[in-house]
Structure 1
Amino acid sequence: MARRILRIGLVGVGAAAQINHIPTLKKLEDVELVWLVDRDPEKAARVAQKFQVPQSSGRLDDLLSDDSVDVVDLCTPNFLHAPMATASLEAGKHVLCERPLARSAAEATAMAKAAKKADRMLVCAVQHRYRADSQLLRKFVDKGDLGEVFFAKAGWLRQQTDWDSDEWRRTKRESGGGVVLDLGFQMLDLALWVLGQPKVESVTASVHRQSKGEVEDSATAFLRLETGATLTLELTWGLLMEKDFAYLNVFGSGGAALLNPFRVHKGMHGTLVNVTPTLDTSRNQYKQSLEAHIVHVMDGLRKGHKPAGHADEILPVMELMDAIYRSAEQGREVKLG
């Protein structure tokens, strides 16, 4: 039996949409991209023509009034996630939202309530979980191959570039925050997922802002987990070195694993053994992982299953974002319920 084709409307035709989301949606079988919406209607029309999407508009309401649309894919700035997701859910559409899900835990909670009331799915893009190396690392941890994990460290130290010069990213009201919400959300979600999503008992954090900056450009955090393990997080938009650093390292009583580049070593018979599996590195990891996640989301929507990154799963991560900011502002450890 042929699977039902899901009709998609995408909102926000900036770089994330044109480089990643639109090519992925156009490539997939059983998915039809039928609407593009952007606050600049001429841009929406140009991009629609480029990618052969039949309909475009400068108004979200035009998309939402189309009863044939099943899913709205939001690739908009952070401050538009909550109102646009809520409107889409109330119109009977499922929502896939770029990260972070919202500007705060309170905003994310309201969005989740709207999804529950509408009996529709609200999903956040968590494509890093679908990298081939991330999937393997999770399996090593799940199977206990590393022994008891007692420490993990995650970070994303990115070169200072003009990429972050978008005005909304530097405006607290529109972004909700800086590097913590941008890079920190992704790395913290990935780290906790790899570790089996343990609860976090407390957070101690510090952030750095440039003299005239509304949002932080660097941050560090120390998290105590219910398992007794600890997790550290390092983030910056302002690295003055020749290349970026993005990593997730997991250390256990029986071995250690490093992500990017992927390495796994285990203690076996009194000897340290490299047990790193061979990975196909010919494909772009980011595009491959986004495609895999979207396939998973669409399959979940068809079957009525909650996909990875569904709102209930993301709310604890948003609460951690709030806790990091609160700890940094108060200069003390913040304990979580």
Structure 2
Amino acid sequence: MNYKVGIIGYGVMGKIRHQAIDEIKKGTVIALSEPNGEPNINGIPNISHEEILNHPEVDVIIVCTPNFLNKELTIRALNARKHVFCEKPPAFTGADILEIQEAEAKSGKKLMYGFNHRHHDSVIHMKNLIDSGQYGKVLWLRGRYGKSVTADYFNQWRAKKELAGGGILMDQGIHMLDLFLYLSGDFDVIKSEVSNLYWHMDVEDNAFVILKESATGKVASLHSTMSQWRHLFSLEIFLEKGYMVLNGLITSSMSYGEETLSIARNRSTAPAATWKDEVVTKYVNNNSWRYEMDHFFDSINENKDIEIGNSKDAYKLMKIIDKVYEQKDF
């Protein structure tokens, strides 16, 4: 079935989602809602949020708006009996997610959140290897995700807590936390230091987060920063029988460098694994946007549960972020 789609918010992410929908050919975008756009954008009507929510022909709504609108538009779209795909963050708090889940249950429609990092080919490979058990249990994870911003950041909605909900943790760190949960399971102990050391905004420019699973002793550490003057993405996972290190991430600007996954088995006696023992794979294509839309539309078409990026995942993630911000001291 080819679904009729409306996109609310037609900035960078709205355009990316539109392209992915066109590529998979499982939906057709028939309406857009971008307040600053022309009445018609590439031949597609640009109408109000209200009109798109109540459009009788729209089956699916894609929400690509500033963070503060995500919860409201998701609930309104579900209440209008539309399937919903919403960009991250899902909302501002775990309590918000519970409200969204109530609307989701009443609607009977599909709801999926845009955590595209889960859909990178490198991460899919890591997930399959971890789930296979051939490397044993996860012992610890370390994630670093950072970028630099320019002075005009102060004028953007992301720099305002009431519009963004938070700073770099809500912007980038949320992706790494999501990968921790996706690749290794839950955590029940959260400790953090959150600061606005350099930019002195009302949102954080650095977040240091330590997570622990009490039952197993598994630990994960995250540093999310906007004072990383050289863009960086690095995810390290060490298991009982080996390790996986993902450095770089394919983006349109390639500012995070090449996406390179190194995997090796450990040794029980010296010398430990060396660089030459690693199997190194470089990924040259970012298929995540297409894979993500495929998963969403297939779940609708086959009436099956959203397995990757559902509201249960969102709730676990936002409960961790709640705990982090509770420990903020500025």
**Is the shorter-chain TM-score for this pair beyond 0.5, marking a shared fold?**
yes
Equivalent pair of 1:179/1:219 in contact (CA under 8 Å): yes
After TM superposition, give the deviation of residue 56 of structure 1 in Å. 1.6
What SS does structure 1 have at the residue aligned with 2:217? coil
For residues 116 and 23 of structure 2, what CA distance do their matches in structure 1 show? 17
**How well do the aligned residues superpose, as a CA RMSD in angstroms?**
2.0
Give the direction of change, closer, same or farther, for the CA distance of 1:166–1:110 in structure 2 (3 Å limit): farther
Counterpart AA for 2:277: N
- Alignment partner of 1:154 is 2:143: yes
Question: Is the contact between residue 9 and residue 71 of structure 1 (CA under 8 Å) also seen in structure 2?
Answer: yes
For 1:278-293, what aligned pairs fall within 5 Å after superposition?
A: 278=281, 281-283=283-285, 285=286, 288-293=287-292
- Shift in Å, 1:27: 2.1
Q: Is the 8 A contact 2:199 2:205 kept in 1?
A: no
CA–CA distance in structure 2, aligned partners of residues 292 and 175 of structure 1: 27
SS of residue in 2 equivalent to 1:145: coil
| Structure 2 counterpart of 1:304 | 303
Structure 2 residue ranges without an equivalent (≥5): 248-259
Determine the C-alpha separation between the residues in 2 that align with 1:208 and 1:268: 39
- Offset, 1:95: 0.8
**Aligned partner of residue 328 in structure 1, secondary structure:** coil
Does structure 1 residue 316 correspond to structure 2 residue 316? yes
SS at match of 1:244: strand
Q: 1:335 aligns to what?
A: none
**2:146–2:225: 8 Å Cα contact kept in structure 1?**
yes
Q: Distance in 2 between the 1:191 and 1:291 partners?
A: 22
Deviation at 1:45, TM superposition (A): 3.1
8 Å CA contact retained: 2:262, 2:281: no
- Written as runs of structure 1 = structure 2, the 5 A alignment for 1:225-244 is 225=213, 226-240=215-229, 243-244=230-231
**Structure 1 equivalent of residue 253 of structure 2:** none
Select 1:213's aligned residue among 194, 201, 204: 201
TM-score normalised by length of structure 2: 0.88
Q: Distance in 1 between matches of 2:188 and 2:23?
A: 42
Q: Matched residues in 2 for 1:36 and 1:105: separation?
A: 29
| Cα shift readout 1:40-64 (whole Å, capped 9, x = no counterpart) | 3xx1535x22xx43x221x112112
2:39 is aligned to 45
Q: Select between 102-111 and 210-219 the one with higher mean Cα deviation.
A: 210-219
- 2:110 is aligned, of 95, 100, 121, to 121
Contact 1:7 1:32 in 2 (8 A): yes
- 1:292 shift after superposition: 0.6
Could you list the per-position Cα deviations for residues 54-108 of structure 1 after superposition, in whole angstroms to 9, with x for gaps in the alignment? x221x11211222221111000001111111111111110110001111111112
> Which whole-Å CA distance do the structure 2 matches of 1:44 and 1:223 have between them?
46
In 2: Cα distance, 1:87 partner to 1:146 partner: 44
Equivalent residue, structure 2, for 1:109: 98
Amino acid at match of 1:13: Y
SS at match of 2:13: helix
CA distance in 2, matches of 1:258, 1:10: 36
Structure 2 residue aligned with 1:333: none
| 3-state secondary structure, aligned to 1:200 | coil
Report the alpha carbon displacement of residue 305 of structure 1 after superposing the two structures with TM.
1.4
Name the aligned partner's letter for residue 109 of structure 1.
Answer: L
1:23 aligns with 2:19: yes
Which residue is 1:276 aligned to?
A: 279
In structure 2, what is the equivalent of residue 60 of structure 1? 49
Change (3 A) 1:162 1:9: farther
Deviation at 1:234, TM superposition (A): 0.5
Per-residue deviation, 1:323: 0.7
Q: Alpha-carbon deviation of 1:131?
A: 0.5
Question: Taking structure 1 as reference, are residues 168 and 278 closer, same or farther at Cα in structure 2, changes over 3 Å only?
Answer: closer
State the one-letter code of the partner of 1:16.
Answer: M
1:96 matched to 2:96: no
Asked if the contact 1:6–1:30 (Cα under 8 Å) also holds between the matched residues in 2, the reply is yes
Whole-Å Cα distance in 2 between the matches of residues 128 and 103 of structure 1? 20
**SS of 2:327 mapped into structure 1:** helix
Partner SS state of residue 258, structure 1: strand
- Contact kept, 8 Å, 1:13 with 1:44, in 2: the verdict is no
Rounded to whole Å, the distance in 2 between the matches of 1:298 and 1:162 is 40
TM-score by length of 1: 0.86
Whether the 8 Å contact between 1:203 and 1:327 is mirrored in structure 2 is: no
Residue 265 of structure 2 corresponds to residue 266 of structure 1: yes
The change in CA–CA distance for 1:323 and 1:36 in structure 2 (over 3 A counts) is: same
Alignment-derived partner of residue 182 in structure 2: 193
Is contact 2:261-2:281 (8 Å) kept? Answer: no
2:255 corresponds in structure 1 to none
Percent identity over paired residues: 23
